[in-house]
Amino acid sequence: MGVLLGFDYGTHKIGVAVGQPLTGTATPLETLPMVNRRPDWARIGRLLEEWRPESLVVGHPFQMNDREASNAEGAKRFARQLHGRFHLPVHLVDERLTSREAWSRLGKEAGKDQTRVDSYAAKLILETWLND
């Protein structure tokens, strides 16, 4: 079994994590800023070349009442674009409360560095998919 990459899509940045199906665990990698309000496709391509994942996982935003969150369409579009550009399977997974959990786990360690929270949220998203 190969590795997977997980993404926490946001309108300003995208958290990225790498995970291992064998262990069901993931590790935060980095947070990519948007380039001209678009994903940094060149950097994503380099990450895919480096890690050679067998598939990708994108967080699907939901509200607590089971309705899609306002940024769900952007995340779904990002997932479609990943598949279209890189021809890998892309899975959507409920990302409800992952950013809150990331803040909680990182606590003061994160400080004001939101980028650490985004990649940690990607780790949680990927672990959710790996363990379902």
State the CATH number of the domain containing residue 49.
Answer: 3.30.420.140
Is it the case that residue 107 has pLDDT exceeding 70? no
Domain-located, residue 78: yes
Domain count for the chain:
1
Give the tokens for residue 113.
């560095």
Domain-located, residue 121: no
| pTM (predicted TM-score) | 0.89
Give yes or no for a contact between 123 and 17, defined as CB atoms under 8 angstroms apart: yes
Domain-located, residue 46: yes
Domain-located, residue 115: no
Give yes or no for a contact between 28 and 101, defined as CB atoms under 8 angstroms apart: no
The domain containing residue 22 runs over which residues?
A: 1-92
Confidence class of residue 118 from pLDDT cuts 50, 70 and 90?
confident
User: 105, exposed or middle or buried, with CB in 10 Å at 0-12, 13-18, 19+?
Assistant: middle
Is it the case that residue 127 has pLDDT exceeding 90? yes
CA–CA gap between residue 28 and residue 18 (Å, rounded) = 7
How much is the mean pLDDT over the chain? Answer: 88
Instruction: Tell me how far CA of residue 69 lies from CA of 19, 54, 65, 132, in angstroms.
Output: 25, 28, 10, 22
**Region 123-131 average pLDDT:** 92
Domain-located, residue 15: yes
Domain-located, residue 31: yes
CA–CA gap between residue 51 and residue 77 (Å, rounded) = 23
Is it the case that residue 89 has pLDDT exceeding 60? yes
Confidence class of residue 103 from pLDDT cuts 50, 70 and 90?
low
Tokens 């996982």 belong to 57
Query: 45: number of CA atoms within 13 Å, CB side?
Result: 7
Per-residue pLDDT tens for 20-77?
999 999 999 999 999 999 999 999 999 999 999 999 999 998 888 888 888 899 999 9
Q: What is the pLDDT of residue 62?
A: 86
Q: What angle do CA 82, 87, 89 make, to 5 degrees?
A: 75
What is the residue type of 104?
A: S
Q: What is the pLDDT of residue 130?
A: 93
- % of the chain at pLDDT higher than 70: 85
Domain-located, residue 68: yes
